[in-house]
Amino acid sequence: YTLPPPPPPPPSPKPRKGFASKNIERDFHTIQRFKKLITIDPLGIKKKWKGTDVCNYPGFKCATVPDQKVTALAAADFNGYFFGGRDLQLTGFLDQLPDLSIFHANSNNFTGPVPKSIGTSRVRYLFEVDLSNNKYSGGFPMSVLQATNLTFLDIRFNSFSGSVPAEVFTLDLDVLFINNNKFSQQLPGNLGSTPVLYLTLANNKFSGPIPRSIGNARNLLEVLFLNNELEGCLPYEIGKLDKTVVFDVGSNKLTGPIPLSFACLEKMEILNLAMNKFYGPVPEMVCDLPRLANLSLSYNYFTQVGHECRKLISKRILDVRMNCILDLPGQRSAADCAKFFSKQRTCPNERSLNYIPCRKGGYSSSFETSDQRSMAPAAAPITYNALKPHKLRL
C-alpha cells in the first residue's frame, strides 16, 4: 500500500525572519525539495529560486489567501520553462502547495502520475491546471475530478490513453482541452452536461456517435472533434447550439445528411464536416447562415447544392470538392458515387433530421433565403491554437 502524503504542517503564528508569512515559509521548503528533481533547466530558472523572497522567484506569484488572510503562494506558472529530469513528478510539489490557485506547466517534461490529492480540501483554491505538452501517459488523471473548483483543465499533447470518465463532463469548467492524446472510447452519453465554452477532443481515437445530449451544452462556443473515429449520423440536437461559432468534426467516420436544424446555428462561422461520409443535398438554409466564413464539406458524398450554396462556392466560403455533385468540377468519379449509394443508408430517427427547433412549428415550408449577412466582424477562433503544442492565451 502507499502512504497518503503527509498533510502540510499547520501554519504557526509567526514566520521566521524574512518570510512574508508562515505559509510562504512552509512553501519555501517544498520548492527547495522540488528543485532537486529538476536536472534539466535550459533557461536557468531554478538557480534564481533562492532566498526567502519566494514571491519574487521566477514562475511564482503571491496573493492574499482568502480564508487565512495572509500572503500565500497563489500561482506557479512554468509555461515554456522546458524543465526536465529523470523522474520529474509533481507529487510532493503540486499537492504540497495548498494555497495554489493556478498551476501552468505547458512544454516541460513532467511525467506521471499526476498527484492524487490536488483536489479535496488540500489544494482548495486550485482553479486552473495546465499540464499540456508534457510526458504524461497512462489513464486519465482521476484526481482532477476531486478538484471541484477547477474552471480550466488543459492536458492536451500528452500520451494519456484509455477512457475519459463521464464525470469530467459534470465538472464546472469553462475550458476542457484533452486533444492530442490517445483516448479511445465512445463519447459518454452525458457529454452535453458540460458547461464549458471551449471543448477540444481533437486528434484522439474517440469513436461512436456524437451523443444527442450535446444539444444541452448551451455554453459551447467552439467544438473541435476533428480527427477521431466518430461514427453515425449527426443528431438534430446540435442545432440547439445557438452560441457556437466553431464546430469541427472533420476527418471522422460520420455519415447521414446535414440535419436541417443546422439552420438554427445563427452564430456559426466555421463549420467543418470535411472527410467523412455525409451525403444528400446541402441544405440551402445552412448556406444562408448569416455569419458563415468557412463551410468545409469536401471529401464526402453530398449530391446537390442550390443557389445560396453556389454563391458561397464562388466566394470561396464553401468547399465541396470531391463529393457527388455531378455538375461541378473536381468531384468523385461516377463509379465511386454509384458504389457508395448502392448500399442503403439510413439514420436513426430520420424524421428528426427535418426538424428545425428555432422555427415556429419546427418545420420549414419554404426555403426562403436572405442576402442580409451580419456585418459584425468574426471573432478569431481560439481553440485551433490548442492544436499546436505551445502555450495558449485565452
Ligand X SMILES: *[C@@H]1O[C@H](CO)[C@@H](O)[C@H](O)[C@H]1NC(C)=O
Residues near ligand X (CB under 6 A): 40, 82, 84, 109, 119-121, 124-125, 148-149, 250, 272, 274, 294, 296
Q: Pick the closer one to ligand X by CB: 40 or 334.
A: 40
Looking at beta carbons only, is 353 or 386 nearer to ligand X?
386
Report how far residue 265's alpha carbon sits from residue 213's, in angstroms, rounded to the nearest whole number: 16
Q: How far is the CB of 301 from ligand X (least distance, A)?
A: 18
Closest C-alpha to 347, from 249, 229, 233: 233
CA distance 232 to 220: 22
- What is the spatial distance between Cα 230 and Cα 169, in angstroms, rounded to a whole number? 18
CB closer to ligand X out of 40 and 326: 40
Residue 155 beta carbon to ligand X: minimum distance, rounded to whole angstroms: 17
Q: In terms of C-beta density within 10 A (0-12 exposed, 13-18 middle, 19 or more buried), how is residue 184 classed?
A: middle
Q: Which of 268, 185, 276, 291 is nearest to 222 (CA)?
A: 268
- Amino acid type, 290: P
CB 343 to ligand X: min, Å: 27
Query: How many C-alpha atoms does 181 have within 13 Å on its Cβ side?
Result: 30
Q: 3-state SS string over 282-341?
A: CCHHHHCCCCCCEEECCCCEEEECCHHHHHHHHCCCEECCCCCCCCCCCCCCHHHHHHHH
State the nearest-atom distance from the C-beta of 363 to ligand X, in Å: 30
Residue 41 or 229: the one with the smaller Cβ distance to ligand X is 41
CB-closest chain residue to ligand X: 84
User: Which residues lie below 8 Å from residue 116, measured CB to CB, with a gap of 6+?
Assistant: 5, 91, 95, 143
Write the burial class of residue 4 (CB in 10 Å: 0-12 exposed, 13-18 middle, 19+ buried). Answer: exposed
For ligand X, which is the closer residue by CB, 28 or 81? 81
- Can you point out the beta strands (E) in the chain? 60-65, 70-77, 102-104, 128-130, 137-138, 152-154, 159-162, 175-177, 182-183, 198-200, 207-208, 222-224, 229-233, 246-248, 253-256, 270-272, 277-281, 294-296, 301-304, 318-319
Cβ atoms < 10 Å from Cβ of 363: 11
Residue placing its CB nearer to ligand X in the complex, 241 or 273: 273
Closer residue to ligand X in complex, CB, 106/294: 294
Query: Least CB distance from residue 182 to ligand X, whole Å?
Result: 16
Q: How far apart are CA 376 and CA 362, in angstroms?
A: 28
**Considering beta carbons, is residue 214 or 274 the nearer one to ligand X?**
274
- Rounded to a whole number of angstroms, the minimum distance from the CB of residue 334 to ligand X is 26
State in angstroms the smallest separation of the CB of 87 from ligand X.
12
Smallest gap from Cβ 207 to ligand X, in A, equals 21
Place of cell 522567484: 57
In whole angstroms, what is the distance from residue 189 CA to residue 140 CA? Answer: 18
CB of 135 to ligand X, least distance (A): 6
Name the residue nearer to ligand X (CB basis): 205 or 321: 321
Of residues 109 and 219, the one with the C-beta less far from ligand X:
109
* Shortest distance in whole angstroms from residue 384 CB to ligand X: 8
User: Please, are residues 309 and 288 in contact by the beta-carbon 8 Å criterion?
Assistant: no
